[in-house]
Structure 1
Amino acid sequence: MSNTIDILVVDDHPLFRQGVVNSLDMVPDFKVVGETSSGEEALGLCLSLMPDVVLLDVSMPGWNGIVTAEKIALACPATAIVMLTAADDKDKLLAALKAGARGYVLKGVSAKELSDVVRSACAGEVYVSPSIAAEMLVSLTRGKAPDPLQELTDREREILELIGNALTNREIGEKIFLSEKTIKHYVTNILQKLQVRSRVEAALLANRHGLKG
């Protein structure tokens, strides 16, 4: 019995919940120790039953899955939380992982995949449905072209403009009433933030992104 994985199923749709329970009950080393339709009840059941894994619906009335996950993670840190969702929403995925969930699974998964996820979560691993993971990678890649100049402070942008006008550190210092040593420090920071190796590259990058001297 010590190798049995105790599971709590939380979903406000009775038909779906019963299907999950029936599926899990067919796995020899799984034991569904409880089921409920609300997050509030789920927390109480976790505290009394101390399940190894909680399968938790993301969208529920009252406490939603994210809120419930956060409360369970705080109250029962040894319990692994796996979120069940009908939609591949990457914002909810990030919120769930931040709340303490170890798995994020689409409700259309096969019984075998669900059992694999339960085992992975119980072993301390993190699992995300491949389709959601793929979408996140695409969106992250797509969003990887921010304006590099946005990392600069107003003072650094001002100095970069003057670099673009071919002024030396001493000339820049005289113009904005700072020491040459201070300007040198600013320039080093600017090159690091822009990930360029020289003043010329920094000036070219600034010009390419519309920063005019």
Structure 2
Amino acid sequence: MTDAIRVLVADDHPLFRQGVVNALGAEQGFSVVGEAGCGEEALSMAQDLLPDVLLLDISMPGWSGFATAEKVATACPATAIVMLTVSDDHDNLLAAFKAGARAYVLKGVSPRKLADVLRSVVAGEVYVSPPLASGMLVSLTRDKAPDPLQELTEREREILSLIGTGLTNREIGERIFLSEKTIKHYVSNILQKLQVRSRVEAALLAKGNTR
């Protein structure tokens, strides 16, 4: 039997937040480990609980969902961030992914579909609500940085360098004292930022930029 997916729900509307908690509670394989009403609280709880998934609203008092996502992505890279929002604005969508989100889901989604999305992001996939997906692809193509390596953090550059030497996730983790699961999430972020599909493509892109 597989372990339940541990979820932290962050939304400043208690009634909506409770609805999400109840919906996930009715789905098999999920455990809601905490609820937060603001970004600061979400970061603190994420650091304490290390959930598999953080469900995060964009508009909250204090830190925005973007600022919160960026801080949680840095502090807890093994936690997959899923934006659950009413906003269908493409700029918000892109800002969410740039901040470290792995999925962007519009509120009103069915409990079953939300559960499916959470399972997919924990498995390393990326998800965007279908009505927004085509627009995001156009924007990403238009806004792609001349040098995508500039989008990587210092830690991501270090891991990409080790990928280029042929090390596995486990070997990289042993080298820099992080868990294999954490390295896997870093690698997923690197592939997403570089807009490539495999470790080999990422390594080749990095090698090409060092010539």
TM-score by length of 1: 0.63
Matches of residues 31-110 of structure 1 in structure 2 within 5 Å? 31-110=31-110
> What does residue 8 of structure 1 align with?
8
CA offsets 1:149-196 (integer angstroms, 9 cap, x no match): xxxxxxxxxxxxxxxxxxxxxxxxxxxxxxxxxxxxxxxxxxxxxxxx
Cα distance in 2 between the residues matched to 1:39 and 1:140 = 27
Matches of residues 92-171 of structure 1 in structure 2 within 5 Å? 92-137=92-137
TM-score by length of 2: 0.64
CA offsets 1:6-45 (integer angstroms, 9 cap, x no match): 0000000111111100000111210000001100000010
Matches of residues 192-207 of structure 1 in structure 2 within 5 Å? none
Report the number of matched residues: 143
Matches of residues 165-204 of structure 1 in structure 2 within 5 Å? none
Q: Which ranges in structure 2 are unaligned for 5 or more consecutive residues?
A: 144-211
Cα distance in 1 between the residues matched to 2:71 and 2:48 = 14
Cα distance in 2 between the residues matched to 1:140 and 1:48 = 34
Cα distance in 2 between the residues matched to 1:74 and 1:105 = 21
Cα distance in 1 between the residues matched to 2:12 and 2:30 = 22
Cα distance in 2 between the residues matched to 1:62 and 1:113 = 30
Matched-pair contact (CA < 8 Å) for 2:94–2:136:
no
TM-superposed CA distance for 1:134, in Å, is 3.0
Q: Percent identity?
A: 66
The structure having more radius of gyration, on CA atoms, is 1
Cα distance in 1 between the residues matched to 2:123 and 2:140 = 28
RMSD: 1.9
Cα distance in 2 between the residues matched to 1:46 and 1:137 = 30
Cα distance in 1 between the residues matched to 2:139 and 2:38 = 33
Q: Secondary structure at the match of 1:132?
A: helix
> What does residue 188 of structure 2 align with?
none
CA offsets 1:36-91 (integer angstroms, 9 cap, x no match): 11000000100111100000001111001000000000000000000011020111
4+ residue runs over 6 A deviation: 138-141
Q: Secondary structure at the match of 1:31?
A: strand
Q: Secondary structure at the match of 1:61?
A: coil
Cα distance in 1 between the residues matched to 2:127 and 2:134 = 13
